[in-house]
Structure 1
Amino acid sequence: MPHPHQHWLYVWTPLVGSFMWFGTLWAMLITWLASGQPKYPSQDGSIAYISDIGAGILKPLFITGCVITGLSFFLSLSIERWLRHEGRLLPNMRRREKVLASFAILGAFIGGCGLILLSIFDTNRYPSLHRIFLLVFILGVGLSAIFTVTEYRWISHEFDEIRKLKIAYVVKGSIATILILLAIAFAVTLFVAVNVGAVLEWTIAFGFTFFLLTFFWDLRMAKGVHQGELSRQRLLRMRQTGETGLPTHVANDVGAGSTSRR
């Protein structure tokens, strides 16, 4: 029998991070607007960067939001990898997928550390260190997104009949591509058009919320799945014996009834 609520403990991880990040950004933006759009000591253009606001009286909020967001991002990928290992999410069928997953987790760890450190070493007191950690954050998250989407692409190719998996891959890939392109544009405008850079930074930051939310969809796919039910060994055995069909509560999302089309 399926366990319909088994997933609720861990799906909160990306949700908490997403709402904390979204709330932190809105609190900072509203504070700046309500204060009459003041110009902060570290601010160059007429539009404040997130880090400009986060270097002032809202620094404790900024640090708290960055810590929770960075941890939830890293934990979301780690939990997903654990669920695949436990056979509660569709598994990595080849070593390349495990390698990609490991690099994605490493990228999330690096990006999360960069996010936390850039909030501590603010742009007003430590401008050089702040920019270094900002770069670390962008590169870490960008690499993690690339490795994650690539891993999903290979898993989706193995189980291309499962609609939810394909949706997860397409949505995650689309959001990641947009954010990476915006990050490249941000890196350019940071030096040549500071106001445009500020707008891009806010856009990327809010967009990161949606990337985090995609992990809620991913982890929720473990709903009702017993430990080992989707293990690599079990699915390979089903293929070898000619069995068709995934467990009933997983097959609800299958367009065709086989474990793989390959």
Structure 2
Amino acid sequence: MAIFSHQRHHWAYVWIPIAGAFMWFATLWAMLITWLATGRPHYGKFSMNGKVPYISDIGADILKPLFIVGCAITAVSFFLTLFIERYLRHSGRLMPNMRTRERVCGTLAVLGSFIGGAGLILLSIFDTKRHSSLHRLFLLIFMIGVALSAVFTIIEYRWISKDFRGVRQLKVGYWMKAIIAGILIVLAIAFAVELFNNVDVGGILEWCIAFGFTVYLLTFYFDLRQSKGVHKGELRPENLNRRRAWSMRRRV
């Protein structure tokens, strides 16, 4: 019974990125469907007034409560996911950081998720209709925070995967995040450019980035699930080094 319970011990936190991704995805679809069902309205002089609505414009109207709740749950889930991933590496339930540089990157990734999450919550509260300047500032903070978190996460995963070349899941996790985050960062740069050149293209890019963030969140389910059946401290560097030394002695 104890073994069976430990096998499922990871379930408590693998649902966090799933819950965050589901809430974000559902919020986006609810907003888009509402806009279509109400006859594709324009949102006044404070909106971009293109054919494609901006998420912030819809979120500043009657769906503002939903927008705030969706952003808040997504932001908290994103931060908790990165925080728990850092804890699991430190406690020896995920492949550990073997050097200080990896721990620094992991910590900066958590900090970036906190900054990005705070920006997401604040941009939903200070909407584009009533607080246009603050909204754009918090949107920038959100995008920079998430981008920094993704970059530091990818660097950390790259170094860990080089230390443990035989662990295929690390390589898969690294490439998944690198590809998805790389695409989202390129789209974010294009969005910043098109925001002032072609508002409709900018609107399309914003929706693509938003839905793409859902996929990025889901990649952490794959990472956290790797702690399944692993006891606390089992994957700490000193224990892994002892295993390697014992394995080398057996070969000799």
Give 1:43's aligned residue.
47
Q: Which residue is equivalent to 1:29? A: 32
Structure 1: gaps of 5 or more residues: 246-262
* 1:174-202: CA deviation from partner (whole Å, max 9, x where unpaired): 00000000000001011111110000000
> What is the Cα-based RMSD across aligned positions, in Å?
1.4
Q: CA deviation at 1:244?
A: 9.0
In structure 2, runs of 5+ residues without a counterpart are: none
Separation in 2, partners of 1:96, 1:76: 21
Matched with 1:250 is none
Q: Distance between the aligned counterparts of 2:185 and 2:238, measured in 1?
A: 36
Report the number of matched residues.
Answer: 245
Aligned residue in 2 for 1:189: 194
Aligned match of 1:138: 143
What does 1:59-74 correspond to in 2, within 5 Å? 59-74=64-79
Q: How does 1:124-203 map to 2 (within 5 A)?
A: 124-203=129-208
Q: Equivalent pairs: percent with the same residue?
A: 63
Scaled by the length of structure 2, the TM-score of the pair is: 0.95
TM-score by length of 1: 0.91
2:228 to 200, 223, 243: 223
C-alpha contact 1:87 1:230 (8 A) present in aligned 2? yes
1:243, distance to aligned residue in structure 2 (A)? 5.0
Looking at structure 1, the residues matched to 92 and 186 of structure 2 have their Cα atoms a distance apart, in angstroms, of 35
- 1:78 corresponds, among 73, 77, 83, to 83
Structure with the higher fraction of residues in helix conformation:
2
Aligned match for 1:20, one of 23, 32, 36: 23
**1:95 equivalenced with 2:93 (yes/no):** no
CA distance in 2, matches of 1:24, 1:102: 29
Q: 4+ runs of 1 displaced by more than 3 Å?
A: 240-245
Partner of 1:9 in structure 2? Answer: 12
Deviation at 1:242, TM superposition (A): 3.6
Alignment partner for residue 233 of structure 1, among 230, 238, 242?
Answer: 238
Cα separation, 2, equivalents of 1:55 and 1:65: 13
Compute the displacement of 1:237 (Å): 2.1
In the aligned structure 2, how far is the partner of 1:238 from the partner of 1:149?
A: 27
